[in-house]
Structure 1
């Protein structure tokens, strides 16, 4: 009986190990080296080097304590992946629209710590680096109001929008697509 259970579990154990081992394939990218790791991919249809990207990311889930917000890191991965694939960085324009519980991830350290049991806003440095590369950050004003966040509480460069819905609608009018991840 125990032998049968072990035989049944072996395939599951085999699947669990390669996932962590495969993370070794991920390396720092050419633009952001401290975050946004990428893996090389043999593409069936390579991305054309003259591709133009205008993409918005929707962020509602807050970062885990003392960790970089996963969706903000995904934006860095997006840039790293495409630059590594040969797309010039100037052909990539990203906007990050933040609302809900993630709203605090756009606040300066003092405000963040006061509302997160003294935790560090681990997303702040990445946000600053992303902004240096042209990434725009928008905070939903409705979420900000719900969480007691004012413009003075925001990290430098973060823009307050009427709402996340408004920010996405305006970005779509500027030909931005919404990244579903």
Structure 2
């Protein structure tokens, strides 16, 4: 009995030493050659598919700009399935007060074109809307006729007139505050002939709201050019250097 114990131990040790070669195969190699490798490849393929799907969805969501009424201004995206579709019968009074660089198109006037295009073609179907605009504040003089505007601002033309004419021809009512016009050195006979002079912005807006128009404030301003940096003269710079040297002596 005593001799059988060493023999039994020897057999156990031998069995442990003779392990299958596959058990010593590196984990990475087993994954690459077996089911685990296929799983990793599948995960990578899944990631690529998700990324491609996201890219496709992004392309699908961004449609081209369209200009259903006002060409080349106020472009909109057609969203026939979106919530809160434009409604026929809507009435808007836009309180336009933003000014800016007189040599550029007033940014608020550009925005008006977008309002019109939204109701005309951004939704599932065109929606007839009434839009009235009241100019005052910084936007007052944007409505001057060509001669008055160029004389006042020393520009080649009034950059707003062409688009304002398009808006008028599309049915937008245009008013300018008579009080603001007078206060800024303008006169009723200097206003473009298709724009009406109101007694005041106050009366125009209140009257239109009483007629069921929804009030839309619009104070967006056209960026003005940055003022040129003042150059320091050579003599001033020399004096500053001399003063600094005197203090350091």
Q: Are positions 1:176 and 2:179 aligned together?
A: no
- Deviation, 1:120, is 2.3
Give the secondary-structure state (helix, strand or coil) at the position aligned to 1:138: strand
Counterpart among 70, 83, 86 of residue 45 in structure 1: 83
Deviations 1:35-58 (A, max 9, x none): 11123447641415x532110111
Give the secondary-structure state (helix, strand or coil) at the position aligned to 1:180: strand
What TM-score do you get using the length of structure 2 for normalisation? 0.57
Supply the RMSD in Å over aligned alpha carbons: 2.1
Q: 1-side partners of 2:63 and 2:106: how far apart?
A: 22
Q: Are positions 1:95 and 2:132 aligned together?
A: yes
**Which residue is 1:66 aligned to?**
103
Mapping of 1:8-19 within 5 angstroms? none
**Which residue is 2:116 aligned to?**
79
Counterpart among 76, 86, 110 of residue 147 in structure 2: 110
**Could you say which structure has the larger radius of gyration?**
2
Worse-superposed segment, 70-79 or 164-173: 70-79
CA contact (8 A) 2:95 2:215 kept: yes
Counterpart among 64, 69, 74 of residue 31 in structure 1: 69
CA contact (8 A) 1:51 1:87 kept: no
Question: Quick one: higher RCO (CA 8 Å, sep 6+), 1 or 2?
Answer: 1
Mapping of 1:116-131 within 5 angstroms? 116-131=153-168
Gap runs ≥5 in structure 2: 1-61, 219-249
What TM-score do you get using the length of structure 1 for normalisation? 0.77
Worse-superposed segment, 66-75 or 119-128: 66-75
Deviations 1:94-116 (A, max 9, x none): 11100122111000111111111
Alignment CA distance shift 1:109-1:167 (3 Å): same
Give the secondary-structure state (helix, strand or coil) at the position aligned to 2:76: coil
- Deviation, 1:148, is 2.1
Q: 1-side partners of 2:99 and 2:178: how far apart?
A: 16
Gap runs ≥5 in structure 1: 1-23
- Deviation, 1:175, is 0.6
